[in-house]
Amino acid sequence: MGAGHSPDWTIPQDHGHFTPGEHQTWTTLYERQAALLPGRACQPFLDGLDQLDLKGAGIPRFDDLNERLGALTGWKVVAVPGLVPDEVFFEHLANRRFPSGNFIRRPDQLDYLQEPDVFHDVFGHVPMLTDPVFADYMQAYGRGGLRALGLGRLHNLARLYWYTVEFGLLQTAQGLRIYGAGILSSSSESVYCLEDPRPTRIDFDLERVMRTPYRIDDLQDRYFKIESLQQLLDATAGQDFGPLYERLAVLPDLVI
């Protein structure tokens, strides 16, 4: 571990360090997604966005955000410099803390950047944490991550995060809706994932998800659909993945 940061990798948000241009980047991205997402994002996300009042004047102050979020589900956002080690990430989730990158993309990266910045982390992830069922799922994922690390199956569990928390779709009576943060923070993917004929949209199946590799550098070729957020929690919280991991150890990945 490098010098100069605390063991949990958190840093003060220091809201004053963001420049006017950086706040403007947030507002530009916010307005673009706010126009696209009604009718595309799932209702818990849209409700969460309203309740957290993330429009504001640019990048939200985490202290204010945490007052509202904490009152709803007991989660809080903490600032980190960027990607943190897996065990640090899971330890935060297991304790209902969501680590957010404390920087924002440059104006020439509005449409895509690989590292999670404050727009992806806060706009994409945090509204879903206002939903009590999803809030419990994320905590269960953190606990499961610590276990998977110990069992050498993190590559399988990471696919669950990818195909749910980052790129998940929810089937509703009104139609297919988005709940994955990787989609919700991307204007092109918000449209593509629902409307483009190319990607496949597969019913959620835990074992299939864990056997399916993913790519991080392009629009997805496949999405997994859940029927309810409760389905996610039921498939994971309190489940012993030990027998599943043993099976996965002798099964090949599915070709993509």
Interacting stretch for ligand HBI, rule CB under 6 A, among 25-33, 83-91, 180-188, 229-237?
83-91
**166-225: which residues touch Fe ion (CB under 5 A)?**
181
Helix and strand tally (H, E) in the chain? 12, 6
- Number of other residues whose CB lies within 10 A of the CB of residue 122: 25
Partner that binds at residue 84, options Fe ion, ligand HBI, none, CB closer than 5 to 8 Å by kind: ligand HBI
The count of residues interacting with Fe ion (CB under 5 A) is 2
Interacting stretch for ligand HBI, rule CB under 6 A, among 49-57, 78-86, 126-134, 194-202?
78-86
The only residue of 34, 158, 202, 237 in contact with ligand HBI, by rule CB under 6 A: 158
The count of residues interacting with ligand HBI (CB under 6 A) is 10
Does 161 help bind ligand HBI (rule: CB under 6 A)?
A: yes
CB of 174 to Fe ion, least distance (A): 25
Distance CA 221, CA 237 (A): 28
Nearest to 166 by CA among 180, 186, 184: 180
3-state secondary structure of 18: coil
Tokens of 189: 């993917």
For ligand HBI, the closer of residues 153 and 194 by Cβ is: 153
- DSSP category for residue 92: H
Tokens of 98: 């969501």
Does 182 help bind ligand HBI (rule: CB under 6 A)?
A: no
Strands 175-178 and 169-172: antiparallel
Give the footprint of ligand HBI on this chain (CB under 6 A). Answer: 80, 83-84, 86, 89, 99, 101, 116, 158, 161
